[in-house]
Structure 1
Amino acid sequence: MRSPVRESTIARAIATGIPARGFHMNVAVPLQIELLGGLGFDFVFLDAEHGIFTMRDIEECCRAAELYALTVVARVPAADDNVISQFLNAGVQGIVVPHVDTIAEARLATQSCRYAPQGLRPSGGSRASGFWRGVGEMSEALAGANTNVTLSVQIESREALALLPDMLALGGIDYFTIGKQDLAQSIGYARLAEGFPEEVLAAVDAATTLIHSHGGKLKDDVMSLCRINKLLVDGARQFLAGKGPR
């Protein structure tokens, strides 16, 4: 019997300590995924918090990524179990939940991402599970899916910083993402042209030290990410300056 489970390059990066390489998209252009898919990237990051994506867009981006064995990571719009379930059913294997400010939200995220006994993810057949066709032992398929789903929660407020020890003790969070821009606003600053204020950087350093001291990981430990928008703009500027390929 074949297994519908695809290996997650993010889960592999966490296990090996070798960061995965990927590209960030905030618009739904599956053709861009196909264009870059054969270059050696490990994953694509779909920003559905700040970008414009319908669920059909997410599904089509997953199809394009699967052609090149790219793992799909998506930042969902909010800590909502129904939304997380839809993204996973579409084929997303890495969930990033923004603005996790309470233990209840962190617990909801962990339970939504994995099947029992590790979580409460609904087990209905979907394209992500191959509609359970050709699956032998269901418990093995569910366990394989759990192993190849990753979860990150974003720390973006004073409240979240204060709850970091409790989140680390919760389990089920594979790595943390610190959202410096929103964290700065929570502390009372805006990002300056020359960078972030010292108080914000000190808070980030303290959070980083705490996470690592508890054996946790941060996004930069797990992945290296470039942005398609920046690649396009930088390439266009080089071309207009007469420095790019013609």
Structure 2
Amino acid sequence: MPAPTNTFKQNILAGIRQMGCWVGLAHPYAAEIAGTAGFDWLLIDGEHAPNDLRSISEQIAVLQASDSTVVVRLPNDDTALIKQTLDAGAQTLLIPMVESADQARELVRAVRYPPHGIRGVGYALARASQFAAIPDYFATADKEICLLVQVESKAGLDALDDILAVEGVDGVFIGPADLSVDLGYAPSADAPEIRAIVLDAIDRIAATDKAAGILTLDPEFIAECLAYKATFVAVGIDVLTLAGGLRDLAKNARKAADEL
């Protein structure tokens, strides 16, 4: 019995668009609600949301019952945390602030078992192997792990071609906010210059065997990124959706009360 098939990895490498949403409320109940929305993938954010390994593990568990694939963004490239998150059942990781081919190669090693990598062999304890119910997990896990690296700085952008040449990196996600700040602009992709840089990066990624990814809430820019063959595109953030909806509700309620 092999490791579960990573359909997200299969789809993005086949060029099949995957539409997703950020999950930052850091609670399994909220993640479970997001899992009913119909997105192809949901990203549990461990970088900017108040998540830890335990809360990430709980959210992975509830989302396994949904039709949405789980992607986990870690806070950094820490090898120990990568190991623990994979053991918790994540098959797709997004690692932020990748700035060189050497860093990308070390990440590939971190998600693979020996002799091709350095992932610790403790899968008998882990949800990843269904607690040792998958006898062939060690032999089959590597090919189902999807490694996405996040390029979001001038250094990363300058190294993009070298990063794209690293075998074992499945996709490159462009982080427009940090990239914009690093290039001296406001923290968004609103500036025409930043949009042009992002679209050029997506074009370069799509010209290789890697998948290109982006997060943007702007419908016009979403369409542009898709036209440039971005494959995994996040179009919303649960925190902002909830906050915006509640603020609109309160505003409308006050307006209705004032009109009486």
Common fold: TM-score over 0.5: yes
* TM-score with structure 1 setting the length: 0.84
Residue 22 of structure 2 contacts residue 234 of structure 2 at CA under 8 Å; is this kept in 1? no
Corresponding residue number in structure 1 for 2:246: 236
Q: Does 1:209 align with 2:203?
A: yes
Task: Kindly provide the amino acid, as one letter, of the partner of residue 154 in structure 1.
Answer: Q
Per the TM alignment, residue 76 of structure 1 is displaced from its structure 2 partner at its CA by 0.6
Unpaired segments ≥5 residues, structure 2: 214-229, 254-260
Per the TM alignment, residue 222 of structure 1 is displaced from its structure 2 partner at its CA by 2.4
Unpaired segments ≥5 residues, structure 1: none
Aligned partners of 1:134 and 1:204: how far apart in 2? 41
| Aligned match for 2:94, one of 93, 96, 104 | 96
- Give the alignment of 1:1-246 within 5 angstroms: 2-3=1-2, 5-125=3-123, 126-135=126-135, 138=136, 141-191=137-187, 195-196=190-191, 198=193, 200-219=194-213, 220-240=230-250, 241=252
Per the TM alignment, residue 31 of structure 1 is displaced from its structure 2 partner at its CA by 0.8
Please report the RMSD computed on the Cα atoms of aligned residues, expressed in angstroms: 2.4
Task: Kindly provide the amino acid, as one letter, of the partner of residue 245 in structure 2.
Answer: G
Change (3 A) 1:30 1:160: same
Aligned partners of 2:202 and 2:18: how far apart in 1? 20
Aligned partners of 2:97 and 2:130: how far apart in 1? 32
SS in 1 for 2:98: coil
Per the TM alignment, residue 176 of structure 1 is displaced from its structure 2 partner at its CA by 0.6
Aligned partners of 2:138 and 2:55: how far apart in 1? 26
SS in 2 for 1:131: coil
* TM-score with structure 2 setting the length: 0.80
Change (3 A) 1:148 1:69: farther
